[in-house]
Structure 1
Amino acid sequence: MLSRTRLLAPVFFATLLVAAGASATTQFDLSPQQSGRVRADKDDALVRSIPKDFHFVDDGVFTVAVAPSGVPPIASYATDAATVIGADPDIAQLVADKIGRPLKLVAVAWEDWPLGLVSGKFDAVISNVGVTEERKLKYDFSSYRQGLHGFYVRKDSPIQKIAEPKDIAGLKIITDPGTIQEKIIVEWDRRNQEAGLKPAEVILFDDEAASSLALRSGRADAVFSVNAVQSYQAAVTGETRLVGTVNAGWPLTTDVGVVTRRGSGIADVVTAALNEAIKDGKYKQVLDKWNLGPEAIPQSRTNPPGLPKY
């Protein structure tokens, strides 16, 4: 069963965070100063490996585009409503540190990064961009995180695990309309019904605020949505918990990658920088700082397999 509820409440999530302000300020630094940002040491071997014919946009700096969303933890605005903070900016900082260049973050609209990268406005894009075979025709990727969706339930829920289609049989599941996660949950439900299991009730909400309210009020059993946002909300409010993750590419797998210009030669350097950060523990510190530990990858790869073009 599929039901749709359109509740547009753009300020609700911000209100929720304010209401939980004490725990938010304790667990997450949303200040523009980012005094606790994880930093890495310059790697001279990496600096020497930068291709001689690669020209940085600005001399002496590493210019990275990021598209801030409305909520942490991947990339959002700090409390000054101007400085971009989050896990992706912190990953960008690690790469910049490793190649010995100050980081220059450029906030862009999501739809503007492809043209900006190709036209040479920035050296890389680090903005939760999933690796796909179609995108690889135009860009190079250096993987740095899994793309995950998560199942979250109320903290006092009897549900302990949702790992496969049969686990949602008979449940009321909230998800986001017109998204990959909606396609996944609908397919899981279809398979269950073919197998004679109870149908799930799939409830569609347009924003995290409305889905959060519905879950906490008991109108649904679980939320299935972007893990990063749900993870942050769980840590801030203490009212929900993770019971399972599904790769965004299900039934395949896909990673999120640093995007660079195709054939520019810098992708292998970025990949090596990420692997050094994984090796020395700085990468883990960044993900743990933003409560994204489950999305860690063991190794960065240049142009790993991506989602196929359908």
Structure 2
Amino acid sequence: MFASTRRARVFASALAAFALLGTTACSSGPTAEADAATDAGYNLTADQNRITTEPVEEIAAKVPQDIRDRGTLVVTGSAGTVPPLRFYADDDATIIGSETDFAHLIGNVLDLDVELTAADWAQNFVRIDSGEADLFISNVTVTEERKEKYDFATYRLDSLAVEVKKDSGITFEGPEDIAGLKVGVGSGTNQEALLVEWNEQNIAAGLAPAEILYYQNAVDYYLALGSGRIDAYVGPNPTSAFHALQSGETEVAGTFSGAGLDLQGEIAVLTKKDNGLIEAINEAINHIIENGTYAQVLERWGITSEAIEVSRINPPGLPKTS
């Protein structure tokens, strides 16, 4: 009985199960969610009118010659993420969100066109390894293990959230609070590694084990959360905060650093190690921080709390688990 407009269909593909998390009143369907997002100031159309900046010749000159000759920066990222990070616009084809805005700003500084592509999480690393893509920009956390194969230039703090159904009574202040819960998480992510580590600690301390369930797409984990198949979902704080606001059916039970309790994690642009790109990327990010366009993107998508003061190359990352 939901209205089947193009805008509603696309927003539903990004936020997936919003309409199914609550009662099936027509006013709470995908169209209402899309209207709410638009009313809140989010542009969900293919015509993004992105924030732009001018090229900087001295930074652009540091890009490897083969990429400069090509004139295009190929950027890969996850296909199944949700607003406000990386999702599909109302034409079902254009990838939009804060992560794509940052990619385009970097391209502006480097005087390169940006080609956005999408793949499942693990496949993005394969694309970087093979040279099919130059950069992976999609909420990628710096980890010590990844630093062995890849170079990083940071652009955002990494905050994770524990999202639960509203009024569930679940709160999160530390690892012991996942004991006995069914917790959803994206497979292959750093939050998975943290959950596994915390679960092992809890079991060793005599607490009830958590059941960790794995998901790749928003449609799957929000359906599971809405139906009660899981008690909580752990994912990027921006997406959980956005979903909780727009759906009205969930809430954030707690937040923590993506690198764990003892280190503030950072989100970074990932590229193949020693391919000659990272210095130019790092300087491009610092340039947009200095000229204010970086802050404009954060404000545009409601993630100003994740701002950094300076981009760093290969900072300390999430420790290895073994």
Q: Establish whether TM, by shorter chain, passes 0.5.
A: yes
Change (3 A) 1:285 1:227: same
C-alpha separation in 2, matches of 1:212 and 1:171? 16
Structure 2: which 5+ residue stretches go unaligned?
1-12, 21-28
> What is residue 311 of structure 2 aligned with on the other side?
300
1:43 aligns with 2:53: no
1:20 aligns with 2:33: yes
Change (3 A) 1:12 1:124: closer
Q: Is the 8 A contact 2:159 2:257 kept in 1?
A: yes
* Correspondence for 2:236 among 226, 233, 258: 226
Q: Is the 8 A contact 1:173 1:224 kept in 2?
A: no
TM-score (norm 1): 0.76
Aligned-partner residue type, residue 114 of structure 1: F
* Correspondence for 1:119 among 130, 151, 155: 130
Greater CA drift, 26-35 or 240-249: 240-249
1:176 aligns with 2:171: no
Deviation at 1:46, TM superposition (A): 1.7
Give the RMSD, CA atoms, in angstroms.
Answer: 3.5
SS at match of 1:301: coil
Change (3 A) 1:58 1:148: farther
1:86-101 mapped onto 2 (5 Å cutoff): 86-101=97-112
Change (3 A) 1:169 1:177: closer
1:62 aligns with 2:73: yes
Aligned-partner residue type, residue 176 of structure 1: V
Structure 1: which 5+ residue stretches go unaligned?
1-9
> What is residue 33 of structure 1 aligned with on the other side?
47
Change (3 A) 1:41 1:158: farther
> What is residue 114 of structure 2 aligned with on the other side?
103
1:131-146 mapped onto 2 (5 Å cutoff): 131-146=142-157
Greater CA drift, 296-305 or 244-253: 244-253
SS at match of 1:244: strand
CA deviations 1:184-222 (Å, max 9, x no partner) are 65367558867xxxx79778585432354258xxx96x6
Change (3 A) 1:25 1:191: farther
Change (3 A) 1:223 1:132: closer
C-alpha separation in 1, matches of 2:164 and 2:300? 22
C-alpha separation in 2, matches of 1:138 and 1:172? 34
Greater CA drift, 64-73 or 200-209: 200-209
Change (3 A) 1:303 1:201: closer
> What is residue 237 of structure 1 aligned with on the other side?
247
Aligned-partner residue type, residue 42 of structure 1: P
Deviation at 1:63, TM superposition (A): 2.1
Change (3 A) 1:246 1:211: farther
Aligned-partner residue type, residue 229 of structure 1: T
Task: Number of aligned residue pairs: give it.
Answer: 289
> What is residue 6 of structure 1 aligned with on the other side?
none
C-alpha separation in 1, matches of 2:88 and 2:44? 8
SS at match of 1:145: strand
Q: Is the 8 A contact 2:165 2:226 kept in 1?
A: no
C-alpha separation in 1, matches of 2:76 and 2:85? 13
Deviation at 1:123, TM superposition (A): 2.4
Identical aligned pairs, as a percentage? 30
Q: Is the 8 A contact 2:164 2:225 kept in 1?
A: no
Deviation at 1:73, TM superposition (A): 2.5
Greater CA drift, 110-119 or 120-129: 110-119
Deviation at 1:135, TM superposition (A): 2.1
SS at match of 2:46: coil
Q: Is the 8 A contact 1:175 1:181 kept in 2?
A: no
> What is residue 262 of structure 1 aligned with on the other side?
273
1:149 aligns with 2:160: yes
C-alpha separation in 1, matches of 2:73 and 2:213? 40
